[in-house]
Amino acid sequence: MDATGHCGLRCLAGRCLIPYATLERPLGLLPLCRRRPRSPDLGNCLGFFRLPQGSALNELRKHRRTILKGYIQVYTGKGKGKTTAAFGLALRAAGAGLKVYFAQFVKGMKYSECHAVEKYLSESITLKQYGMGYFVEKEPNEEDRKVASEGLRGIKEIMCSKKYDLIVLDEANIAVYYKLFSVEDLLDFIDAKPESIELIITGRHADPKIVERADLVTEMKEIKHYYHSGVEARMGIEK
C-alpha cells in the first residue's frame, strides 16, 4: 500500500484500480501485511489477504454488514447443479461472515458436502436433513410427510428468530411435488420471511406459484449427461 492508501494495482495509465479499503472490509478479508506489493499485478495484490478463520471469523461476524434486503431465489429444472449452486452460495455467505441454515428435504443420506460442512464449516453453516431418502422404489408414506412438514414448521421458527442470514430449503420443490407438504405451506413460509434474510429454494418441478413469488429463478437445463452412458455417481463429484 502506498502513502495514498492504495494497493499498488494500476492500469496502463498509472491510475490505482483498487483502493486498499475497498479490498479489505467489503470482501471480508483480513490483511496479512500492509507493505506495497513488489509488482503491480492482481495476484500479488490479493496475495496479501487471507480468509478469516477461528476467532478472526467471529470478530468479522460482530462487525458484519447484515443483509439489508433479502431476496427469494429458486433453482429448478432437470439439469444437474441445483444443490451444488446452493452450496456454492452458502460457502460465499460463510466467507463473508454470514450465518447459514441449510435444510435438506427428501434426502436422508449424507453426501461429501455434508461431511465438509461438519468438519470445516460448522461455525458458519448449520446443515440439517428432514428426509427419509429418495422415492426410487417406493411412494412417500405418512412418516415421510410428517418429517417434512414438521421440519418446515421448525425451520420457520428458526428463520423468524433471525439467527441466520441465509436459509436454504434444498429439494423443497420436490417435497411439494410429492405432497410431503403443500405449496400453500411453502408460500406461508415465504410470507413469514424477515426482510433481511435471503431464501434459497431448490429442486425440480418448481410450482408456478413459487416461481411467481420468487425474485430470481434459474432453470438448470440438461443438454448432455454422462449418466445416460452408464457412468454412476462418483464420490466427491456427484455424492
Say which range, 70-84, 95-109, 124-138, has the weakest mean pLDDT.
Answer: 124-138
Do residues 13 and 113 share a domain? no
The candidate with the shortest Cα–Cα distance to 66, out of 198, 179, 161, is: 198
Q: Does 139 fall in a domain? A: yes
57 pLDDT band, cuts 50/70/90, is low
Question: Given a cut of 90, is residue 73 above it in pLDDT?
Answer: yes
108 and 194 share one domain = yes
Q: Which three cell numbers stand for residue 152?
A: 418446515
pLDDT at 190: 99
Q: Is residue 58 part of a domain?
A: no
Pair (103, 2) in one structural domain = no
Q: Which is nearest to 103 in space by CA: 160, 159, 25?
A: 159
**Prediction pTM value:** 0.72
Cβ count near 61 (within 10 Å): 17
Domain assignment present for 20: yes
Count of structural domains within the chain: 2
Residues 127 and 11 in one domain: no
Residue 81 lies in a domain: yes
Tell me the three cell numbers of residue 110.
Answer: 449424507
**Residue 104 belongs to some domain of the structure:** yes
The answer to whether residue 217 sits within a structural domain is yes
Q: What is the CATH number of the domain that holds 150?
A: 3.40.50.300
Same domain? 100 vs 214: yes
Q: ∠31-93-17 over CA atoms, to 5°?
A: 45
pLDDT at 162: 96
On whether residue 59 sits in a domain, the answer given is: no
Both 154 and 93 in one domain: the answer is yes
Reply yes or no on whether the pLDDT at 49 is more than 60. Answer: no
Instruction: Clarify whether residues 133 and 98 are in a common domain.
Output: yes
Phi and psi at residue 78, in whole multiples of 5°? -85, -10
- CA nearest to 18, candidates 33, 38, 39, 40: 40
pLDDT value of residue 107: 84
Query: Do residues 87 and 192 both lie within one domain?
Result: yes
User: Which structural domain, as residue segments, surrounds residue 14?
Assistant: 1-50
Q: Is residue 149 located within the same domain as residue 213?
A: yes
Assess if residue 180 is contained within a domain: yes
Q: What is d(CA 67, CA 189) in angstroms, rounded to the nearest whole number?
A: 19
- DSSP codes of every residue in the chain: --TTSB-S-B-TTS-BSSBHHHHHTTTT-EES--SPPSSSSHHHHHTTEE---THHHHHHHHT----SS--EEEEESSSS-HHHHHHHHHHHHHHTT--EEEEEES--S--HHHHHHHHH-TTTEEEEEE-S---SSS---HHHHHHHHHHHHHHHHHHHTT--SEEEEETHHHHHHTTSS-HHHHHHHHHT--TT-EEEEE-SS--HHHHHH-SEEEE---S--GGGGTPPP-TTTT-
Question: 114 and 200: one domain?
Answer: yes
Backbone phi, psi, residue 206, to 5°: -60, 130
Same-domain status, 184 and 100: yes
Quote the CA–CA distance of 49 and 228 in Å, as a whole number: 44
| Residues 159-208 pLDDT 10s | 999 999 999 999 999 999 999 999 999 999 999 999 999 999 999 999 99
DSSP string for residues in 185-226 = HHHHHHHT--TT-EEEEE-SS--HHHHHH-SEEEE---S--G
Separation between Cα atoms, residue 116 and residue 20, nearest integer Å:
32
- pLDDT, one tens digit per residue, over 108-167 is 777 778 888 888 888 999 999 998 766 555 688 899 999 999 999 999 999 999 999 999
33 and 148 inside one domain = no
